[in-house]
Structure 1
Amino acid sequence: MKIPLHKCVSVTTDGAPAVVGRDQGVIARLKAMPSMLAFYCIIHPTVLCVKLNDHFQQLMCTAMKMINFLRSQSVLRHLRKFLKESDATCEDLLTYNNIRWLSKGNALSRLWSTRQELTSFLNTCTSLNARQFHEMMSSSKDMSDLAFLVDTCGHLNDLNLKLQEKNKTIINTLPAVQAL
């Protein structure tokens, strides 16, 4: 953008070693300028604070596997027809993209909103995977834990979207981070 570096007063990063680096990173080079301030992004601590323990990590992994199973070509056509016939709130599941972490919360939310229909659908399937996923969907403990994950990811998604709004400053966004 051809902005003279002496006019930059601060930079914010996610703390990645390639960016920060003690000697070769962008931040290390910019700190050579005496007036440059470096900040750590306020989004990342919120993501780190919800690192999942083993149980929740396993539940999240199983939920994502179930979504992938239900979206596989052998099952998807039947699932869509089933959801349409059962007047579900939506007619398809969302896929999770590991690159875009907001998609995990959206995929979980869609899974949660169709959980009753999906449980019925999995009960009609004969594969071993379907039976295992049906057991998870029928477990009140797993469903209460999944509800917690859906809510947590939803709050993180909301925060992330608030932080990305145009014309927002740290003064406007800090209360949202502190509230989370």
Structure 2
Amino acid sequence: MVGRDQGFIARLKKDMPSILTFHCIIHQTALCGKLNNLLQQLMCNAMKMINFLKSQSALKHKNLRKFLKETDAACEDLLTQNNIRLLSKGNALSRLWSIREELSSFLKTCTSLIARKFQEMMSSSKDMSDFDFLVDICGYLNDLNLKLRGKNKTIINTLPAVQVFFHKLELFWWMCKMIFFTILL
């Protein structure tokens, strides 16, 4: 649709050069959600942990589900993320965050080196505070993404949701700056 020479928009611009065009807002939010190196590494480690606990061994996954049930955790299993669906990583992170204490206890019972590495990550207060921030941002992006989807959604209907999200990001930016300057003092 948006090809530079042959797409619908390119052909339309030949006849009406002053026409305004926009890339899909949902895809813009996905691009906005690109992570910096630190958060990208945390996301990667979280997805590796989920795959380690769910996919590497059927026995380990069964033991995890049993452990979560016995400890009355908020959830009885982890969600598997899917790179195709935009919402799945945020939902998987949110589920992981909700049972982080139980997962840390479960990882202590595992004997593998990989489990110890994940357990160290779960016990690191810095990693967990960064992970909490990542879960929050992904949650806000998921919320915005859901508001932009559906029948009869036009730019006029979705623009307020985008503006509110923009203002939330500005607020987060100022809060981060205030925290940083408070730490320096």
By how many angstroms is 1:101 displaced?
A: 1.7
Tell me, what secondary structure is at the counterpart of 2:21?
strand
By how many angstroms is 1:30 displaced?
A: 4.6
Question: What amino acid does structure 1 have at the position aligned with 2:3?
Answer: G
Alignment of 1:65-76 (within 5 A): 65-72=48-55, 73-76=58-61
The 2-side partners of 1:155 and 1:69 are apart by 27
Tell me, what secondary structure is at the counterpart of 2:111?
coil
Percent identical residues: 74
Residue of structure 2 in register with 1:152 after alignment? 137
Alignment of 1:45-84 (within 5 A): 45-72=28-55, 73-84=58-69
Deviates more, 1:90-99 or 1:161-170: 161-170
The 1-side partners of 2:63 and 2:132 are apart by 26
The answer to whether the Cα contact below 8 Å between 1:31 and 1:38 also exists between their aligned partners in 2 is no
Residue of structure 2 in register with 1:97 after alignment? 82
By how many angstroms is 1:22 displaced?
A: 2.0
Normalised by the size of structure 2, how large is the TM-score?
Answer: 0.80
Q: Please list every run of 5 or more consecutive structure 2 residues that lacks an aligned counterpart in the other structure.
A: 166-185
Alignment of 1:13-162 (within 5 A): 19-32=1-14, 34=16, 38-72=21-55, 73-162=58-147
Deviates more, 1:49-58 or 1:111-120: 49-58
Residue of structure 1 in register with 2:172 after alignment? none
The 2-side partners of 1:37 and 1:45 are apart by 16
The alignment of Structure 1 onto Structure 2 pairs a total of residues equal to 162
Question: What amino acid does structure 2 have at the position aligned with 1:63?
Answer: A
Deviates more, 1:48-57 or 1:61-70: 48-57
Residue of structure 1 in register with 2:157 after alignment? 172
Tell me, what secondary structure is at the counterpart of 1:39?
coil
The 2-side partners of 1:23 and 1:48 are apart by 23
**RMSD of aligned C-alpha atoms?**
1.9
Normalised by the size of structure 1, how large is the TM-score?
Answer: 0.82
Q: Please list every run of 5 or more consecutive structure 1 residues that lacks an aligned counterpart in the other structure.
A: 1-18
The answer to whether the Cα contact below 8 Å between 1:123 and 1:130 also exists between their aligned partners in 2 is yes
Question: What amino acid does structure 2 have at the position aligned with 1:40?
Answer: H
Output one character per residue of 1:144-172: Cα deviation in whole Å (capped at 9) or x when no partner. Answer: 11111111111111111111133333222
Residue of structure 2 in register with 1:8 after alignment? none
The answer to whether the Cα contact below 8 Å between 1:96 and 1:103 also exists between their aligned partners in 2 is yes
Output one character per residue of 1:85-124: Cα deviation in whole Å (capped at 9) or x when no partner. Answer: 0001111000010011210000000000000100000000
1:74/1:28 CA distance change after superposition, 3 Å = farther
